[in-house]
Amino acid sequence: MKDQTAVPFVDTNIIPDRNVGIGSLLWDLQNPQHPNRNEPPLLNSRFAFIDVGVSRARVSTALKTLLASDLKMDVDYIATERVEAVPYANVTLLGDRAEQIRGCLSGTFSSKGATCEVKDWHFVVDLEGKVSSVAYSYHLHGNEVWEAYFMGRTFMYSGEPVEFSDPKLNEMLAPDVKKLEARIDLERKREGDPSQPAPSWEGYRVQRNPLEAGLAEFGITLQKTDVPQRIKGRQNVLFLGNVLNHYPQAEQARELERIAANMEEGDIGIVQVDEVEASSIEVLHVKGQGAQKTRERVRRVASSESVWRSRAWAR
């Protein structure tokens, strides 16, 4: 392992619109302060950046703007998401009822002493036409933070399954979820058979295909896959921003192996993990080919107060 970089460490969830940590890390890889004799920089001036697991378009579009416009990097920016996690629609409820639910969300997520005033919220409809979560935003240290309330589903946090469900909130949401799913169902039936009645969307604002549309506005193509395809003719940087935390600890090394399967010699992997106890960014460099392929850990940035829990990601 080489020097640890002095890249400012930034949590993507806390400052979603400016992931400066990754921007300055890439800059540092292209312009090393103390280049080893005769060794080229680890990152070429021209590269493809594959942002793995983009649950929201805005995180990626902001990072692309930072790299391509602010830092003037010659980057081909691609995003990936698991097919089943790509939303069918975001649906915003309008009127008094939306205000009531906003109040209930604020109450649910405010803990003793800390108020979390929900500013904005919407339903997220999945591929199957079901409401999978409620996305809500609040302000934290002057930043807009978005989080998801999964409708009773388990999600992975710091490698552990967590199920957070609030009966009062579920009860509040239930009639609207039912109405909304019925409308989506009608809409889908009509897609297959135009003689079917069209649902009325009065009282709602519907944004269809929000992830793909939001990315396309910034020229980012979405690969709907859990094993990213490699971009030919350029060095590839595979960026896993809070993706491995989705998997139980014991499966993380194997999952990285799978996600990075198409990467080739000279490519770079960046693994960012924002956890309460141990946040870190690791840079891995792919060496060798085929069965000889290995990943060498070339940088590690860890939040200073945390005790670094070493993991077998580099092999």
Ligand X SMILES: C[S@@+](CC[C@H](N)C(=O)[O-])C[C@H]1O[C@@H](n2cnc3c(N)ncnc32)[C@H](O)[C@@H]1O
59 binds ligand X (CB under 6 A): yes
- The site for ligand X, by CB under 6 A, has a size of 17
In the bound complex, what is the minimum distance in angstroms from residue 281's beta carbon to ligand X?
11
Which of 108, 132 has the CB closer to ligand X? Answer: 132
- Stretch near ligand X under the rule CB under 6 A, chosen from 66-74, 75-83, 98-106, 146-154: 75-83
Q: Measured from the CB of residue 32, what is the shortest distance to ligand X in angstroms?
A: 26
Per-residue three-class SS string for 159-226: CEEECCCCHHHHHHHHHHHHHHHHHHHHHHHHHHCCCCCCCCCCCEEEEECHHHHHHHCCCCEEEECC
Residue 22 binds to ligand X (criterion: CB under 6 A): no
Quick one: which of 25, 54, 118, 263 contacts ligand X (CB under 6 A)?
54
Signed CA dihedral, 15, 17, 22, 26: sign only: negative
Distance CA 7, CA 282 (A): 12
> In this structure, how many other beta carbons lie within 10 angstroms of the beta carbon of residue 162?
10
Among 5, 24, 55, 236, binds ligand X (CB under 6 A): 55
Q: With binding defined as CB under 6 A, does residue 148 bind ligand X? A: no
- Does residue 57 bind ligand X (CB under 6 A)? no
Q: Which stretch binds ligand X (CB under 6 A): 52-60, 123-131, 190-198, 296-304?
A: 52-60
CB of 87 to ligand X, least distance (A): 10
Does residue 269 belong to the site contacting ligand X (CB under 6 A)?
no
Asked whether position 126 contacts ligand X by CB under 6 A, the answer is: no
Residue 182 CA to residue 313 CA, distance in Å, equals 45
Ranked by CB distance to ligand X, the top (closest) residue is 53
Q: Does 63 help bind ligand X (rule: CB under 6 A)?
A: no
80 interacts with ligand X by CB under 6 A: yes
Q: Contact letters (x/-) for ligand X, 227-246, by CB under 6 A?
A: --------------xxx--x
Please list the residues that pair with 204 across neighbouring strands: 93
Number of CB atoms found within 10 A of residue 182's CB: 11
Q: Which is nearer to ligand X, 98 or 271 (CB)?
A: 271
Q: Examine residue 212 and tell whether it contacts ligand X (CB under 6 A).
A: no
The nearest distance, CB 85 to ligand X, in angstroms, is 4
What x-and-dash track marks residues 83-102 binding ligand X by CB under 6 A?
--x-----------------
The Cα 115–Cα 135 span in angstroms is 18
Task: Give min distance, CB of 163 to ligand X, in A.
Answer: 16
Q: Which of 9, 24, 67, 81 binds ligand X (CB under 6 A)?
A: 81
Amino acid at 240: L
Q: Residue 12 or 279: which CB sits closer to ligand X?
A: 12
Q: Which residue, 184 or 259, is less far from ligand X as judged by CB?
A: 259
| Dihedral angle of Cα 217, 223, 224, 227, to the nearest 10 degrees | -150
Positions in the binding site for ligand X (CB under 6 A): 12-13, 52-55, 59, 80-82, 85, 226, 241-243, 246, 259
